[in-house]
Structure 1
């Protein structure tokens, strides 16, 4: 499964897998507890494949950050937990992206990145490469 079908929904903890679209929104399944929810188009929803991290030169796609974490941790969980203090989180991020923009990337953002990576890893979602051909496959019903 690609990051194109993994969602972050504002006000809801964890990540969600997009299942199907409805007339007024879509149905998603929580990766935390497996519960299905209906989400309207009024909710603030972010697709993980569209999220990027600010650096001093450019914006780095979240999938590339996940790839760097995967390399650093040899495919395992992060060595730093998402509940660590701000200094440890910033040090970890600096190891991944030495040029990340410290003024625009907050500790709360780093916590989410670590938490999301570990959650995806728990669910066997470890291929963070860009997938072009999956767009056509998502049209199946």
Structure 2
């Protein structure tokens, strides 16, 4: 399951795909049928990547990716997020038996079920997540290209035109008007 670039935004319902970034914030596209693009302000909004979210566990925290994979492999019908709280808790006990029942609230379970219903039809749900090494290699290649470009620009700034000598920059002078 490839959840890279899928985020939840504090104060906004649903899930969003991270499209880009500008001065004002992050450019997001909603994953619903309307495909609305919004800008989430960096100062006011908190973005949480689904890849990084964990669920409280008894011994150790459970990754949301693993919980969603268990829900996808669940043989019976996945309940709706508006179902009875007892039914949702019983369902969550089956798909995430090691979760901490005291710390994981019914609202958290409803949110996870809602997210599952949003992303289950998307093609990225069946894709394999890129390996950490592949992502790091991609960054290294981009970093090397940027470094090479920086060196080229630096060399171009130091090159003298043929037949001309470098002149020192002129000193700035200040003129003051007295008696005006």
TM-score, normalised with respect to structure 1: 0.86
Q: How many residues align?
A: 135
- Written as runs of structure 1 = structure 2, the 5 A alignment for 1:49-88 is 49-73=51-75, 78-88=77-87
- Deviations along 1:61-103, one digit per CA (max 9) or x if unpaired, are 10000111111148xxx52111111101100000011121011
Structure 1 unaligned regions, length at least 5: none
Where 1:26 maps in the other structure, the secondary structure is: strand
- Deviations along 1:3-59, one digit per CA (max 9) or x if unpaired, are 120010011110000001112321000012200001111201111001001110000
Report the Cα offset of residue 124 of structure 1.
2.7
1:91 aligns with 2:90: yes
- Rg: which structure is higher? 2
**Could you tell me which residue of structure 2 aligns to residue 126 of structure 1?**
125
Q: Which moved more, 1:127-136 or 1:99-108?
A: 127-136
In structure 2, relative to structure 1, the CA distance for the partners of 1:130 and 1:2 (3 Å cut) is closer
In structure 2, relative to structure 1, the CA distance for the partners of 1:128 and 1:63 (3 Å cut) is farther
Structure 2 unaligned regions, length at least 5: 143-180
- Written as runs of structure 1 = structure 2, the 5 A alignment for 1:14-29 is 14-29=14-29
Which has the larger share of strand? 1
Asked which structure has the greater RCO (Cα within 8 Å, sep 6+), the reply is: 1
**Could you tell me which residue of structure 1 aligns to residue 40 of structure 2?**
39
